[in-house]
Amino acid sequence: MLETIFGDKTMLYVPAKVAVAGLGNVGKTTLCRAIMGEDTTAERVETAGLQYHNWSFEGGSVIFFDFGGQEMWDTILRRTIQRLSGLLTAKLILMVFDVSTKKTFKETVYDLNRWIDYFEEAGRKSNFARPVLFVGNKIDCENPERIEKGGIDVPIRELRTPLMDIMSRIASPNQTHTLRLLHPSHDPRERFEKNVVWVSALYYNRNEDYRQRMERLRQEIIAAAKQPLKSK
C-alpha cells in the first residue's frame, strides 16, 4: 500500500491493478517503463511468464501485471489469468499491439482476440466488467526520421478495420460481458478514436508529440485506477 500523510491524518491507497497483454515483442515491458517515466533505452529482455511493476503517482498507485506474449508461455499464461484472483478486480486491461509495419500490425491486432477470450473466460465468475484500452506501440519504428516527424505512417492508420472489428466484440455500453471498452460508444469512429492510444514506448521522451501521447495514456490509467469497478 502507498501511505500518504495529510496533517494528522494518514491515507492508505490500495494499489490498482492493471493488466498489460499482447503478442510477444510488441513492447509491453518497455511500455510499462515509459508510463512510469523510467529509462526505456536500457537493454531489453523478453518477458518470460509474468512480471510485476509498481508505479506510484499523486493520490494513488498501480501494479502492472506484465504478461509475456510468446506462444511457448500460452498455456501457463492462460492458467495464470484464470487463477490470479487479483485480475478479477483489475481496474484496466491494456491490449498492446505493434504498428511498426503492416504485417506486424495485422498479426498483433488479430492476436488480441486470444487475449480477450482468456480474460472473458477468467472473469465469468466475477461481478465486474473490467475496462479495456487499446495501445498501438512503436509508432516510431525505431527510425530517426519518423521520430522527428512524429511517427505513424498514414497507411498504418488506415489499417483500422481489423482493430475496429475486435473492439466491436466488447463495444456495447449495455453488454453483459466481463470486458468493456474504457470509453463506450455506439459510434464506431468515436469508439475507435477514444479507445486507442498511439505511442512510442521506446522514444516517449524524444519529442513533444511523443510526450503528449504518453501523458494521455498515463492520465487514462490514473483516471481508471481511481474509478470504482462497474458491475456487469
C-alpha span between 144 and 161 (Å, rounded): 28
How much of the chain exceeds pLDDT 90, in percent? 36
* pLDDT for 181 beyond 50: yes
* 2-231 CATH fold: Rossmann fold (3.40.50)
**Higher pLDDT pick, 79 / 95:** 95
| Pair type for strands 230-231 and 128-137 | antiparallel
Q: Where are the alpha helices (DSSP H) in 54-169?
A: 74-83, 102-122, 144-149, 154-157, 161-167
Q: Is the dihedral of CA 220, 63, 89, 132 positive or negative?
A: positive
Q: Of how many residues is the chain composed?
A: 232
C-alpha span between 94 and 66 (Å, rounded): 10
Strands (E), the chain: 2-6, 9-13, 16-21, 50-57, 60-67, 92-98, 128-137, 179-181, 196-198, 230-231
C-alpha span between 11 and 37 (Å, rounded): 24
Q: What is the mean pLDDT of residues 158-186?
A: 84
Per-domain residue ranges for the chain?
2-231
228: number of Cβ within 10 Å: 7
* pLDDT for 43 beyond 70: no
* pLDDT for 44 beyond 70: no
**Considering the entire predicted model, what is its pTM?**
0.86
Angle, to 10 degrees, between the axis of helix 74-83 and the axis of helix 102-122?
40
